[in-house]
Amino acid sequence: MAIGKALQIASTAPRAREMESEFGAKDITSQAVTKAIEQWFREYYNRESTDEADASQRIPYVIVNKLTRTTFSEYTAESGNAFAQSVLDALGNKRKTGVQQSLIGGEALLKPIFTRAGGIKFAVIDRSAYLVFGRDEDDVLTDIGTSELTSAGGYQYTLLERRTVDADGYLTITSTLYSSTVIGALGDPVPLDTLDKYAELEPSVTYSVPIGSIGLIPIRTPMENCIDDSADAVSVYAAAMGLIRLININEAQINGEFSRGESRVIVSADMMETDAQGNHAFSDHVFSGLPDSPDIVGVTIFSPAFREQSFHARKTEYLRNMETLIGLKRGLLSDVETAERTATEITSSAGDYNLTIEDFQDMWEAAAREAVRVCGIFGKLYGVVGAAEVPDEQVIIGFGNGILYDEQEEWERLLDLNARGLLKSEIVLGWQYNMPTDTESDLAAIRARLMPPLDDTLALE
């Protein structure tokens, strides 16, 4: 399902205005954030280099890829409820795409889709593919317009879908399909059943039970907005955009340094530029003119020494500053040798990185739990076999040892405290088997289920 890809940049320009007109609503995203979103996507997908900036480093891609891989390095999601497990499995297929798109654009949406066979899958709507028409007092989305593109039979079809949730949680969805032969244009409205996948959609529907949201699950980056004071989320590399541009400029400069470092004698016209009038002139990339120097006639060859070390030192400093801004571990981008860093730098940067990854794990876990809740309601409405509103405690999401702590080390620490009589055995077992330990009844349940009928003051072996 092609959602948003063709709109990564265009949705913030004329197409967005056309969508506003069709929806009859005004996008409340600030101009500063709209422009920034366009720049975040352009920088991520940019592969074109110029004389002024070399985009081959692909720094945004490196940042997003490393953070996503680390976030899900030991991810698990389980539930004893079969329906909830099917939702978690479907989410697992889109978790990396969803998180990557949220890191790029600041926010992405997961759209649950129930198949005719009673299954479920998710589509990812990136930030360039929807307009925000309303938020509540907690800055939660209450009114949005989304765009979904499909190419078929030489036509480009665009499904515009507006979702509005009222104060009581009741969701209304209106859907309109457009057809055009011109890429980027909406074209004319056509019946929804023009495309088979939309044949069962209603032009407008208000659900009979409160959904409590727009029915789309947001994946929203946890960083504060550094563009303006609006409620919009920002890209993970928003604060580092200036440094990314400097790195691209730096790379172009070092490329030019290598290109111009070889001595040359220019004698033919193909080594000269031609102006609009057809006159030949030496390229200022190769030649430097000296004004008011009548004694210098002709061509003087200048062969500078390479300044590779200086360029690389400058680039490394940019990357180190970027690591600090984003909260990455020192050397993750700059690849600085450990010997060049103090123990304090290593420890503090690792701690920042741990917290950064934990923030993104929390971001995904919140989205996954919301997806289970929303799909439970939709599943019952659609008559999906086994669909149920599953209690939150029946959904167990883990990220393994991760990088913040070592699970085996934590287990051994708890055993040691228990052996010294400083921690109850029930609490140790509750931690190991993800059972609550807050109340005496919780502890009694652990004793009944897991502990032999022995003196509970005995330490675990």
Specify the pLDDT at position 188: 93
Say if 365 falls within a structural domain. no
Q: Which residues of the chain have pLDDT under 50?
A: 1-13, 263-267, 290, 294, 296-297, 338-347, 404-405, 456-461
Domain boundary pick from 310, 325, 354: 354
One domain for residues 216 and 258: no
Distance CA 223, CA 356 (A): 10
401: in domain: no
Report pLDDT for 286.
Answer: 53
306/342 same-domain check: yes
CA 429 → CA 265, 280, 441, 451, distances in Å? Answer: 80, 83, 15, 9
Whether 386 maps to a domain, the answer reads no
Instruction: Kindly state whether residue 37 falls inside one of the protein's structural domains.
Output: yes
Count of domains for the chain: 3
Q: What is the DSSP letter of 328?
A: P
pLDDT in tens, 59-72: 999 999 999 999 99
Please state, in angstroms and rounded to a whole number, the distance separating the CA atoms of residues 151 and 158: 9
**67 and 205 in a common domain:** yes
- The answer to whether residues 225 and 246 belong to one domain is no
Question: Mind listing the pLDDT tens digit for each residue in 94-112?
Answer: 999 999 999 999 999 999 9
Residue corresponding to tokens 């009928």: 453
* Residue 178 in domain: yes
Looking at the fold, whether 433 and 332 belong to one and the same domain comes out as: no
Q: Are residues 209 and 259 in the same domain?
A: no
Together in a domain, 329 and 447: no
112 belongs to a structural domain: yes
Query: Are residues 70 and 174 part of one domain?
Result: yes
328 and 445 part of one domain: no
Per the structure, the complete domain to which residue 427 belongs is given by: 406-461
Radius of gyration of the chain (CA): 29
Domain presence at residue 169: yes
User: Same structural domain for residues 172 and 251?
Assistant: no
Same domain for 131 and 32, yes or no, is: yes
Q: With respect to residue 449, please indicate whether it lies within any of the assigned structural domains.
A: yes
Same domain membership, residue 191 and residue 171? yes
